[in-house]
Each structure stands twice: as C-alpha cells, then as structure tokens.
Amino acid sequence: PTLLKQNRQLIIKYNQQLKKAKKLSNSLHEQLEIIRNDYLTSNGEESEAKDKLVNKYLKRF
C-alpha cells in the first residue's frame, strides 16, 4: 500500500507540473504569434529593431 500511495502522489505531482508546463507553452505560443504578426507588418527599420527585441526576449528562455 505504501508504494501505491507514493506512486499516486508522484502522479498527482507530475500532472500538476504538466498543467503548468502546458500553460507556459500556450502563453509563449500566444506571445510569439503576436510578435510574429507585428513583425510581418513592420517596415525595414522597424524590423531590425523588433528583431533585436525578440532575440533579447527569447534568450531569457
């Protein structure tokens, strides 16, 4: 019974971490989509500045 209880706790913890990871992934995907759409509507000068900003942002991950 002890192993079953430990396994259950590990599964619960794993599922919680998985939910957090999915939320983070979805958030990053949304942010990157916004950045991409903004970048596609930029002119040359704006594109360079935004490119630097995006690279700086992505280095955090």
Which tens digit of pLDDT belongs to each residue from 22-37? Answer: 999 999 888 888 887 8
- pLDDT bracket for residue 1 (50, 70, 90): confident
What is the pLDDT at residue 32? 84
Per-residue tokens: 23 = 């939320």
Arithmetic mean of pLDDT, 31-60: 80
Share above pLDDT 90 across residues of the chain, in percent, rounded to a whole number: 43
The three-state secondary structure class of 21 is helix
Among the listed residues 53, 11, 8, 13, the one whose alpha carbon sits nearest the alpha carbon of residue 34: 53
Per-residue tokens: 45 = 């000068």
What is the pLDDT at residue 22? 96
